[in-house]
Amino acid sequence: MHKDDDEARVSLAKDGRPAGGDGGGSGLDRADGERPLDAFVSGAAYAALGLLGGVFGLVGSFAQDWTVGSVPVAAIVLVALVFLIARLSGLGMGGRLGATVPAVTWGIVVFVMSMRRGEGDLVVPATTAGYLFIIGGMLAAVAGIMMVPPARPPGEWLLGKAARTRR
């Protein structure tokens, strides 16, 4: 047995990982325990959330102007749904990034749909319902993101491993 192999086994054993090659893990496991398939599934989930936010922004842009009398009911419902999408996707993904992805894609699509085209057409007009949908939706998205608990302890980005005292 080589001295370097023995030191590597002791180091792995201290970290709680199997020391031998027969520990059940493939050689593709990373130091943090995440396998390549896990990364692929996470990436696909974030892409699906981004697509959800974009489609919701597109459909909502066309539907936001429906009113009952002078009350923009559709815009109010859509703002509540933006909040729910951000909050629930963040809780489902286990962090604020999961909430941010659909909120940002929603905001980009709504911003593009509110821009005036060369012909003078636009989808989200400068009406009460349009302003409520854009501004209220942005505030609801931020509130939904901020209500999701962070995935890591506060300050870990600054202090590194020293901030990991709450586990």
Q: Tens digit of pLDDT for each residue in 37-88?
A: 878 888 888 999 999 999 999 998 888 888 888 888 999 999 999 999 999 9
Q: Kindly state the average pLDDT of the residues 129-158.
A: 84
12, two tokens: 């792995």
Residue pair 86/141 in contact by the 8 Å Cβ criterion: yes
C-alpha 150/C-alpha 92 separation (Å) is 12
Quick one: which of 78, 92, 97 has its CA closest to 152?
A: 97
Burial bucket for residue 90 (CB in 10 Å: 0-12, 13-18, 19+): buried
Average pLDDT, whole number, for the chain?
78
Percent of the chain with pLDDT over 70: 71
Question: pTM for the whole thing?
Answer: 0.70
Residue type, 64: Q
